[in-house]
Structure 1
Amino acid sequence: MAKFRDLDEFFDDSLPLPIGGKTYRVPPPDADTGLLCQRLMTAGIAAANGKEVDAAQLDDAGEVDLYQRVLGAAYDEMRADEVSWPRLKHAGVTAFLWIAGDEEAAAKFWDAGPESEAPKAEAATSTPSRGSTSGTSRTRPTQATGKRSAGKTS
């Protein structure tokens, strides 16, 4: 019978975002935020492809402060450090893509820089979602040894 190691030994479900020499750690979203992001991404893709989208499906009180929701405690830390709005917004969109899609999509957006636009629907549909049909918000790639190091600088 297989014996599983404790997930905490090798699984890092946060997102490190370096800004101005400091690395802000975006915590994993709660289930409601994860599901909201997936609904928003699905509706955005549908709308971009000319499909009618029911506005009620996007009606969520937390939508007003989406960046705050997706960045979690890192949002307050960035505000306290007076991170500029363009940088905070870039971090927020990156975190949204990480939650709704995966780390690779978030990294592509992050590395595109401040002049980048949100990914087009065609690009979003070219990368299959890692989400399961069991109601979980997403899965994360793991490494057999050590924590993930993507996004960290040396």
Structure 2
Amino acid sequence: MAKLKALDAFLDTTLTLPIGGKEYTIPAPSAETGLLCQRLMQAGVAAANGKQADLADLDDGEELDLYQRCLGPVHGELLADKVSWPVIKLAGVTAFLWIAADLDTATRYWESGGSPEAQAPDPATSSAAASTTKSRGSTSGTNPRQKASRGKAS
């Protein structure tokens, strides 16, 4: 019988965002928040492809506090540190993309300063990327950004 490596030896379930000289570490979301983000992403993709997006099962409260839910305790830290709204919004959308898509998508968005074009895959590489993209859960832990963020709790 095959024995798997201990999950915590290679899986980093946090996202660290450097803002104003401080690192904010966003913990893994709850399953409820993860599923909400997945549904929102699917609805957004459907709408972008000209299909009707069914958001009837999402209530206003879920939509209104999306950034807070995605950022977790970091949301309160950002407010306490008097971080500006555009930066909180960038952090919130980055966390959303990390949860709903993957680290690469979130990184592209973050490093573009929030450019909407960063969310779309490059048309020249989209078919190759679709077959090789790894999910957050399949990371080997070799990404320097991920290793650097391990153990850094806010």
Fold similarity call, TM over 0.5: yes
Give the aligned CA root-mean-square deviation in angstroms.
2.7
Query: What residue is the counterpart of 1:142 in the other structure?
Result: 140
Deviations 1:72-128 (A, max 9, x none): 0111111111111000100000000000000000000000015x23756x5399464
Question: Deviation above 6 Å: which 4+ runs of structure 1?
Answer: none
In structure 2, the partner of 1:135 is none
- CA distance in structure 2 between the aligned counterparts of 1:83 and 1:92, rounded to whole angstroms: 12
CA distance in 2, matches of 1:124, 1:62: 31
- Distance of 1:58 and 1:49 partners within structure 2: 20
Distance 1:81 1:48 in 2: 36
Alignment: residue pair count:
142
Once the two structures are superposed, residues 5-54 of structure 1 have per-residue CA deviations (whole angstroms, 9 ceiling, x without a partner) of 32223321100000011110011010010000010011011111111122
Partner of 1:27: 27
Deviates more, 1:8-17 or 1:64-73: 8-17
Percent of matched pairs sharing the same residue: 52
Instruction: State whether structure 2 residue 112 is matched by structure 1 residue 117.
Output: no
Mapped to 2, the partners of 1:62 and 1:124 lie a distance apart of 31
State the alpha-carbon separation in 2 of the partners of residues 36 and 104 from structure 1.
20
TM-score normalized with structure 1 length: 0.79
Q: TM-score, normalised by structure 2?
A: 0.79
Aligned to 1:79: 79
- 2:103 and 2:29 map into 1 onto residues whose CA distance is 14
Q: Which blocks of at least 5 consecutive residues in structure 1 are unaligned?
A: 132-137
